[in-house]
Structures are given as C-alpha cells and as structure tokens.
Amino acid sequence: MEQPPDTPVTLPDYGEYETAWCPGCGNFGILKAVKQALVACQLRPESVLFVSGIGQAAKAPHYLNANLFNGLHGRALPVATGAKLANRALTVIVESGDGCLYGEGGNHLIAAIRRNIHVTVLTHNNQIYGLTKGQASPTSMEGFVTKAQPDGVHSQPFNPMATAVAMKAGFAARGFSGMPDHLAGLIQAGINHPGFALIDILQPCVSFNKVNTFAWYKSRCRDVANTHDPANWEAAMKLAFQWDDWIPVGILYKNDRAPFESYFPACAPGPLAEQPVDRNALRQILLSYA
C-alpha cells in the first residue's frame, strides 16, 4: 500500500469506504470532489490533516485516507488553527456542517477570517441540522418549517458569503455538491490559496430538507467564473446576495493578505514538535529575573 514519495498521487490513494449517509445525500458528491481536488493538488495523504466537528458532514473525512482530528461540534476551526500553527507544512482542511460552522462555531469562523490562517473550510451547507434529525440551521430560509420550527423560521438566514466578503476574507467561494467537477476545482483553488479559504457548498439533504432539494439547487446554481473578477469586492458583495432564480457558484472573492502563520517566527523553521528546547537561552532568561 505504501508508495514511494515520488509516485504520483492517484484517487485510490485516498481509498473507498462505506459511509453512514442516506442514499442520495449530497455529501457523496462533496466526498468525490474532495478526493479529486487532493489528487489534483498532488497531496500525499500523510501530509493532509482534516479537522471536522460533529454532524453528518463532519463524518466525511472518515471516508478517505488522510490524517483526521474529528473533534467537537462547532470546534473544528480552533483545532485546525492550532494544528496549522504547530506545523505549517500540513495541508489543513476543515470539513463540517452549516450548523457546526455557522451555528455552534460562529465565533471561531469570524476569528479565523480575521486571522487569515491558511486553512481551507468546506461547509456542507444543507440548510438543516441533519444528524439531530432536522431542526433549522443558521442557513435555513425564513419561513422554513421543521418539527422544532412548526411556524417556520423567524430569523434571517446567515449568509456566509456576504459575511465573509464583508469581512474581506482571504478567499470566499460557493459550490454545489451536484457539480462535483466544478466543486473539485474550487477546492483545489481553496487549498492552494495561501490564506483562509471558505467554501460554502450547497448540499441537498434528502431526509430532512424537502425545500432546498437537488432539483431546487440544480436549477439555480450557475458558475460565475467567466463573468466575475474575484478581486472586485463590490461585485463580490452583489453576488453574495444573489439568491433567487440564480445562485452564483464559483470564487466570489479573493485577496492576497499574508497568512496568519507567517507572522510567527517560531513557525518558520519547521514543525514545532521538532524544535529543540534551548536551555542556554532559558538559563539566561532565568538570570534576568535577578
């Protein structure tokens, strides 16, 4: 199974696993696209670290062959941030649900955008809490009816793209699980973007979201690649709000701020785990307390 490091990476390197998802779930398309992107990036499994939270989406990285820290609901981003700071050489990818990343984990998303840490976030956005059996998520549309919201959702949905663009995130893109090749391209671009990348992925949940179905998304999602310059902030902001008959998918916004980890001199020489403890320096420090 082990390949010498100069062999090209191929799809089988990332394996095939049985999943715990419902047949027809949009997660399958995302899983496919992720593997495709990793191969396109020629990243070896042992150099990639997935970090996920809890939810149906968060199980995704169990279904490919890479390093994984499957942590708590809502807390993938700080774990990813710590891991990236500990070892810049790791490709760190966060994969989780809309509830996990925009609900429980909302504060970390904002902080990660502000930091611009080089972590790629893949949100499986099914506009619902799947694993807990169908309550509204932060992205559920106003009026959306569930068992927990029998009169419909009263809160305005969280618009991840608008918030990311308003906060001038390093990289903000929207994808659709039903366009896996297109999505793979976005993920590849996100991984290669040297800073924070948020990819919000529209994903039908066949079990609980009977409004935003595959067909619903399919008829709306169209790529913006040919008509939009991601450096154009105003245009990006407009596209972020575009959500009716047309939902634009593609890279909405991008800039070139320096990644957070570049500010830490300690991160430069290599993994923190391999840095020695300089006891001579420490001795000097101790004496400075005289």
Ligand X SMILES: Cc1ncc(C[n+]2csc(CCOP(=O)(O)OP(=O)(O)O)c2C)c(N)n1
The footprint of ligand X on residues 105-134 (CB under 6 A) is 124, 126, 128-132
Farthest-apart Cα atoms in the chain, separation: 72
Distance from C-alpha of 233 to C-alpha of 191, rounded to nearest angstrom: 21
Measured distance CA(180)–CA(37) in Å, rounded? 10
Using CB under 8 A, which residues numbered 105 to 164 contact other proteins?
106-108, 110-111, 129-133, 135-136, 138, 147-150
Q: Which two tokens stand for residue 227?
A: 């008509």
Q: Are 57 and 27 in contact (CB under 8 A)?
A: yes
Q: Which two tokens stand for residue 198?
A: 């948020």
Where does this chain bind a second copy (CB under 8 A)?
104-107, 110-111, 113-116, 138, 151, 154-159, 162-163, 165-168, 237, 257, 260, 263
Q: Rule CB under 6 A: say whether 192 interacts with ligand X.
A: no
Q: Does residue 140 belong to the site contacting ligand X (CB under 6 A)?
A: no
Residues 56-115 that bind ligand SF4 (CB under 6 A): 56
> Are 146 and 135 contacting, i.e. CB atoms less than 8 angstroms apart?
yes
Count of residues touching other proteins (by CB under 8 A): 82
Q: How far is CA 62 from the centre of its chain?
A: 15
Length reported for the chain = 290
Contact between 174 and ligand X per CB under 6 A? no
126 in contact with Mg ion (CB under 5 A): yes
Question: Site residues (CB under 6 A) for ligand X?
Answer: 54-57, 73, 96-100, 124, 126, 128-132, 137
Question: Site residues (CB under 5 A) for Mg ion?
Answer: 97-99, 126, 130
